[in-house]
Chains A and B, each alone.
Chain A
């Protein structure tokens, strides 16, 4: 659809410079007897020292593009059927396997999304870098080691000698991603492909990795093809952007142009869906009734148990939640914000009594539930319900939507017929057709399943809903719809929401109050407008600073004016 726009975008780019990578009309289809198109003629190009962001939602084909370039399409499953991929003028689609092997790491290199799984767990990281040099150079082993250590120091790893002989599991996610970057850049390739390299990382680590990529790129003049779904990251790192949708490039051009004056409707909806970091306007407290109160909650996970603890050096255990208190009023939304390992999910599971807290009190509607036994708990379970993160796993795949919906009310004695009728009503409330009730979960998309999960929670007529990263697995446009739904339901039914999230943008748009956690401890707690717009704690400030694209107002299509104070 947009070869024309792409060409014009390319012409307006540093036209004088020689292109490192040119992709022209790339077509990729699934293998097998009935091929389905995955990429329908994708074209773009990158100049030396330039960063091109491929941005799009899931299924847009952005990752397939990068794998095709590296010649790493899964054999038999995906096949490049047409177009050209030129690396310094050499067509990679026609290159022999051995030529491709020689080009990899040497001329083009790639880093992947999951630093946890992208490194071989049974080889030391030094060996894994050494291997690259062993394969592609004639250096002696001493020279190789020196070069590897130098690569480690370039990505700012500490104690490089110790790291050299470390195994991946002994390093943090950020460190592993640094190793991947060192590995990719050790031979100074002309092209670096980065496939969602920071998506699995915490925001603060993400910020460091992004600036590292930028730094090394400037140093070596590398061309970077950066794949991401996060518009904030695009603002921070891209020179130019290609917006992809369903295997096609929808729009491309300079960052300022695409984000500032998008021409295509698809780009516009994508940008409109990005939640703003500026907190929503405060809402009036409609009710003074406290529905959930948590006091000095603690959860300690014992290290080892039984015989093992008796024998081994007993570790003192992890304090996943350490002295956290808050209060949630009817009709309000409290956001629990933190990075991985902050204890926010454990906190939610304690409140739900999926875990038994080690100390402190949880009062639902004034009733203390933190120490109730399973059977004593049953009457109180009704009042507080949960929405889970992964829409693919939150519904029993073998039961119809209706069966899933009526299970709860029927456990509490509602007649089947009545529960079924209520189920139909609620499905309509969450925006699904009433006939959805007879279908199975796999017939719905992720966003629809999350709506069903919300309906299931509402079937119990709860006073509180706990949403644990409930929109994190969804594409940004779907995310906006589900957030809107939660908001609407809250208005209508006056339910209180405890919203667990790592995403500050989401928190800013949905929360009345925010509670920031770090390593199990409460860092800052107050009205969202104050905590997020004017953070007092240093950690909260660091989190806000690290939020990608924080200087850009996506809705206004313009840079944000710095807030005074």
Chain B
């Protein structure tokens, strides 16, 4: 197990290197002076010269890369051009709303989509199957912000069940937190629910065709045991995989949802950074989310071993 873990971690290193290299090249190879991009439009010539020296722009490209990589490894992700605060500090300040939103959305997703997918596969071709399939296509297709505004219009403006926008920390009380998180979490999970109920259904359909399901039925087992004990565990690996690769969708959903619901999280941070051309912040957030992507997928890889005894190191 340990050697498997170590090997997976080592295998993740080249991926992170490629990410870093890509982010690095994006800035250096883009048209225009990197120093000017970093410094922003208001920079004085002295500031530009200082930044140019700090970036080592006169050095060869690969030396610049390794110097920059060294800074990253020491935890130096640069400083925001606008607020002059270190990027990591800014990220830290904005972490809680985003984490709350993401976790509640994942909770919604798993609670709703896995049962839906299982039932749709079990009653393949029935009304409920068609309903799940149609609903999931709609969930894929309607943009997150459209869903967000529809929910606001219906539940916040017409029915007045929830506040329109905003965020309250869980530490300030459960009531205000819940009332403000439900709509954004529903919005964010819509696409995820569509994705995972579809994947659950497809994966279950595949497994239900397997010989061992026929064996289980030949043993006289009830349908519940067949579905949950025999089929779902075998269908788990593709479902977990999609949860991992769906992380990219989650990120784009977070960015949009936080804008629609005015939640001061990482998504708003990056939108503000884009509008202000605050490149160090953008760069820091890309590196962070990519790192998170790699870590999440690593954890999912490791969890395969827990669901499938054939996967062993």
Contacts and interface: CB of A to CB of B under 8 A. Distances in A.
A368 B7 CA distance: 41
Contacts of B309: 121-122, 167, 169
Contacts of B234: 120-122
B236 to A, nearest CB: 8
Interface string B13-52: 0000000000000000000000000000000000000000
A395 interface: no
Given A123-B229, A123-B230, A307 B220 contact: no
Contact of B310 (A117, A167, A311): A167
B96 to A, nearest CB: 38
Given A103-B220, A183-B219, A307-B10, A120 B214 contact: no
Interface residues of B, number: 28
A135 B222 contact: yes
A: interface residue count bin = 20 to 34
Contact of A114 (B211, B218, B229, B233): B211
B217 A131 contact: no
Contacts of A156: none
B225 A135 contact: yes
Nearest to A115: B211
Interface string B212-231: 10111111111001000110
A329 B210 CA distance: 47
Interface stretch (A45-53, A104-112, A253-261): A104-112
A106 B233 CA distance: 26
A354 interface: no
A121 B220 contact: no
Contacts of A307: 7, 10-11
Contacts of B141: none
B219 A105 contact: yes
Interface string A219-235: 00000000000000000
Contacts of A311: 3, 6-7, 10
Given A121-B309, A131-B221, A135-B219, A72 B3 contact: no
Interface in A422-440: none
A132 B219 contact: yes
A312 interface: yes
Contacts of A101: 220-222
Nearest to A75: B124
A70 B218 contact: yes
Interface string B281-313: 000000000000000000000000001111001
Contacts of A112: 211, 214-215
A131 B215 contact: no
Interface in B221-257: 221-222, 225, 229-230, 233-234
A146 interface: no
B14 to A, nearest CB: 9
Interface in A327-352: none
B127 to A, nearest CB: 15
Interface in A289-323: 307-308, 311-312
A121 B7 contact: no
Sorted nearest first, the 8 A-B pairs with minimum C-beta distance are A104-B220, A117-B211, A120-B212, A167-B309, A101-B220, A105-B220, A118-B211, A110-B218
Contacts of A120: 212, 215-216, 230, 234
Interface of B: 3, 6-7, 10-11, 125, 210-212, 214-222, 225, 229-230, 233-234, 307-310, 313
Given A132-B220, A183-B219, A311-B3, 12 more contacts: A70-B218, A101-B220, A112-B215, A117-B212, A120-B212, A121-B212, A121-B234, A121-B310, A122-B233, A122-B234, A123-B229, A167-B309
Contacts of B230: 120, 123
B11 A135 contact: no
A119 interface: yes
Interface string A164-197: 0001010000000000100100000000000000
A92 B223 CA distance: 19
Q: Which of A105, A120, A135 has the most CB of B within 10 A?
A: A120
A120 B308 CA distance: 10
A307 B3 CA distance: 13
B221 A135 contact: yes
Nearest to B234: A122
A122 B308 CA distance: 5
5 contacts: A100-B220, A119-B212, A119-B215, A135-B222, A312-B7
A438 B217 CA distance: 46
Interface string A400-432: 000000000000000000000000000000000
A100 B221 CA distance: 10
A149 to B, nearest CB: 18
A101 B221 CA distance: 7
A303 to B, nearest CB: 13
Nearest to A98: B222
A368 to B, nearest CB: 40
Given A169-B309, A183-B219, A117 B225 contact: no
A132 B230 CA distance: 13
Nearest to B125: A76
Given A112-B211, A120-B230, A122-B307, A105 B7 contact: no
A399 interface: no
Contacts of B211: 112, 114, 117-118
Given A118-B211, A120-B230, A72 B217 contact: yes
A123 B221 CA distance: 15
Which has the most chain A C-beta neighbours within 10 Å: B211, B218, B309?
B218
Contacts of A123: 229-230, 233
Contacts of A263: none
Contacts of B308: 121-122
Nearest to A108: B218
A102 interface: yes
Interface string A18-47: 000000000000000000000000000000
Contacts of B218: 70, 72, 104-105, 109-110
A406 B307 CA distance: 50
B223 to A, nearest CB: 9
Interface string A134-150: 01100000000000000
Nearest to B310: A169
A420 B222 CA distance: 60
Nearest to A170: B309
Which of B214, B217, B219, B230 is packed against the most chain A CB atoms within 10 Å? B219
A118 B3 contact: no
A101 B218 CA distance: 8
A493 B230 CA distance: 56
B175 to A, nearest CB: 42
B64 to A, nearest CB: 28
B295 to A, nearest CB: 20
Contacts of A70: 218
Contacts of B222: 101, 135
A70 B229 CA distance: 21
| Of A76, A122, A123, A132, most B-chain CB atoms within 10 Å | A122
Contacts of B11: 307
A72 B211 CA distance: 12
B252 to A, nearest CB: 33
B311 to A, nearest CB: 10
B75 to A, nearest CB: 28
A121 B312 CA distance: 13
Contacts of B220: 100-106, 132, 135-136
A104 B313 CA distance: 38
B310 A104 contact: no
A104 B10 contact: no
A34 B233 CA distance: 37
A183 B221 CA distance: 13
